[in-house]
Structure 1
Amino acid sequence: MIKVVLIEDDPMVQEVNRQFIEKVDSFKVVGVASNGLEGINLVRSKKPELVIIDVYMPQQDGLQTLQVIRTERINVDIIPITAASDMETVRSFLQHGAFDYIVKPFKFERIKKALENYRSFRMKFDEKERISQQELDEFFFRKEQGNTFDLPKGLNALTLTKISKFLAETKVPISAEEVAEGVGIARVTARRYLDYLEKCGHVQIDFQYGGIGRPINRYKLNK
């Protein structure tokens, strides 16, 4: 069971978030606070694995609370759920190690996805003393894509990561054949991964015509 402390000043939002959190397997809300000062005391006493926190709160806001948690070196992870969508706030939370960032209003599926990613993270890494680069790549890439460690049958996360990195390093749209040569895989395999990335919205296709008028698909990573 993953223990969660919920810090949110709106009573109605508190209850909705609590129900959402406990609707996901393995998560239990062990304490609810209405501001950052109450919240930090709950974190100290309940020792949760995860804190779900708002930004705009009386007495002590969410970012100040996170800064106290990091200053005291409390071993807990943070996911903000907030109406704050300005880049300065988002960047500050990420710089202080937020696991995810959810902007209000949101649907249950969004918090479910965040919590499932977090649960997978705990299960995969808690019992390890060391971790390989491949395992890190698989985790960070899939977390970035916002899925729950599931890929279509026949696709490999490491190969997907390599292709994404190759596209990111390429300044101009390139063909599936060029991707295959750059990554070291077959052209038909590269095309499958590129089609998957395009369906997920992470790759854009440029249609370019060759000398005989036949269009060539060229791919570039969306920023």
Structure 2
Amino acid sequence: MEKEKIKVLLIEDDPMVQEVNRQFIEQVDGFEVIGVASNGKDGLQKIRDLTPDLVIMDIFMPILDGVETIHQIRKQQTDVDVIVISAANDQKTIRKMMQNGAFDYLIKPFKFDRLKLTLEKYYIYSIQQSEDALLSQTELDKIMFQKDSAKEDGYVVIQENLPKGLNAATLTQIKEFLNNQTVPLSAEEVADGIGIARVTARRYLDYLKGAGILDLDVQYGGIGRPINKYIMKRQR
């Protein structure tokens, strides 16, 4: 029997972004937006009234922001999953949302394919979770690794396998930033573009270079050491 569509509540204060996100979500098979809210307080009430399966919400909202909203959802033990779509890219906020059980965190601006990937993963996850049966370790591992992995440009990143100190959300942000560049950039230029420390940017860049996602372009100037610059590896 075909699974019913996943009911989505969208919590976003910007009407234009709200409509774009609604259209994106409903382009993915198996999902329908059953309601919208413009702040966390209204969102909590609509969760109670509409009983959605999934909430997709922003962080920066009036009256009640996303951090407090997900905290209230968990405090009230509401049976609903959460995906975050927000411009908030500081690690403290991301960590709080993930600690409160966010299924995924997308940083604005994002590509439709990235949201589609997350929703497809969630659809599979929801089917597996709806089956009323005991799980073996192998079955549980399959669910968890499918949930925490993201396949982009043919490369699978599993959060548990990232080196200590690297964050999956920041990694995705750096990749998306570099995807939009046409010339190689140094660690300092990437750091300035993302808003992180240069030493942090270098760690991520070196990781992506080692994973075969970036090409290294060593540029020699006048006096001094050569400068390492990085660019996304293009499909040939």
Matching residue of 1:171: none
Q: Which residue of 2 aligns with 1:41?
A: 45
Do residues 58 (structure 1) and 93 (structure 2) align?
no
- The residue that corresponds to 2:112 in the other structure is 108
Moved more, 58-67 or 137-146: 137-146
TM-score using structure 2 length: 0.63
CA distance in 2, matches of 1:39, 1:95: 20
4+ long deviations beyond 6 Å: none
Deviation at 1:127, TM superposition (A): 1.1
Amino acid at match of 2:112: F
Counterpart position of 2:143: 139
Q: Which runs of 5+ in 2 are unaligned?
A: 164-207, 213-236
Q: How far did 1:17 drift? A: 0.3
Q: Which whole-Å CA distance do the structure 1 matches of 2:65 and 2:124 have between them?
A: 29
1:6 touches 1:18 (CA, 8 Å); kept in 2? Answer: yes
Matches within 5 A, 1:67-216: 67-147=71-151, 204=211
2-structure distance, mates of 1:203, 1:124 = 34
Partner of 1:26: 30
1:2 to 2, 6, 31: 6
TM-score norm. by structure 1 comes to 0.66
Residue aligned with 1:146, SS: strand
Letter in 1 for 2:61: M
Within 1, Cα distance between the matches of 2:211 and 2:151? Answer: 20
Q: How many correspondences in the alignment?
A: 163
Q: Which runs of 5+ in 1 are unaligned?
A: 152-160, 169-200, 206-223
Distance 2:144 2:211 in 1: 22
Percent identity (aligned): 49
Q: Deviations over 1:81-140 (max 9, x none)?
A: 000010100000011000000000001001101100000001122113321111222222
Cα deviation for residue 202 of structure 1 reads 9.8
Contact 2:8 2:31 in 1 (8 A): yes
Q: Are 1:51 and 1:79, in contact at CA under 8 Å, matched by a contact in 2?
A: yes
1:74 alignment partner, SS class: coil
Instruction: Name the SS for the 2:134 alignment partner.
Output: coil
Q: How far apart, in 2, do the equivalents of 1:72 and 1:30 lie? A: 21
Letter in 1 for 2:39: N
CA RMSD of aligned residues (A): 2.8
Q: Following the alignment from structure 2 to structure 1, what is the Cα–Cα distance between the partners of residues 27 and 117? A: 12
Structure of higher CA gyration radius: 1
* SS of residue paired to 1:70: helix
Q: 1:130-172 CA distances to partner (integer Å, 9 max, x unpaired)?
A: 2111122222223333149xx9xxxxxxxxx9xx97x97xxxx
C-alpha contact (below 8 Å) 1:117/1:147 kept by paired residues:
no
Letter in 1 for 2:143: F
